[in-house]
């Protein structure tokens, strides 16, 4: 008996069955703009450094870079590839359309 399951529907994925590995990389993006004036930048840096001391190392790493992997069955792969954000169930703010969110 296989111990692989579809991450979306929970279906058992038997040996030899068609299944798909989804690997997602989430990277922090920086547009080069710091939303601080020079005067309060020093205070902000001090606040960040103070928080770094109390934050979990994994949490800090996840804020910058994160990888997520899961397996989908054939049916769920088609659904995920067609609509990865399940936009039929999610209401995007400001009525943004999915096409505007994907680069």
- Tell which one of 8, 20, 70, 79 touches Zn ion (CB under 5 A): 8
CB atoms within 10 A of CB 4: 14
Cβ burial, residue 42 (10 Å; 0-12/13-18/19+): exposed
- Cβ proximity to Zn ion: between 4 and 11 the closer is 11
Least CB distance to Zn ion at residue 19 (A): 9
Instruction: Please state, in angstroms and rounded to a whole number, the distance separating the CA atoms of residues 60 and 62.
Output: 5
- Cβ proximity to Zn ion: between 40 and 74 the closer is 74
Least CB distance to Zn ion at residue 79 (A): 8
Pick out residues in 68-87 that bind Zn ion (CB under 5 A). 73, 76
């Amino acid at each position: 008996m296989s111990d692989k399951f579809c991450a979306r529907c929970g279906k058992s994925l038997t040996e030899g069955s068609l299944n798909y590995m989804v690997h997602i990389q989430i990277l922090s993006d920086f547009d080069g703009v710091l939303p601080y004036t020079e005067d309060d930048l020093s205070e902000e840096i001090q606040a960040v450094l103070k928080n770094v001391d109390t934050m979990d190392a994994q949490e800090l790493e996840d804020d910058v870079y994160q990888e997520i992997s899961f397996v989908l069955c054939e049916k769920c792969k088609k659904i995920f590839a067609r609509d990865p954000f399940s936009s039929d169930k999610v209401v995007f703010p400001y009525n943004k359309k999915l096409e505007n969110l994907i680069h």
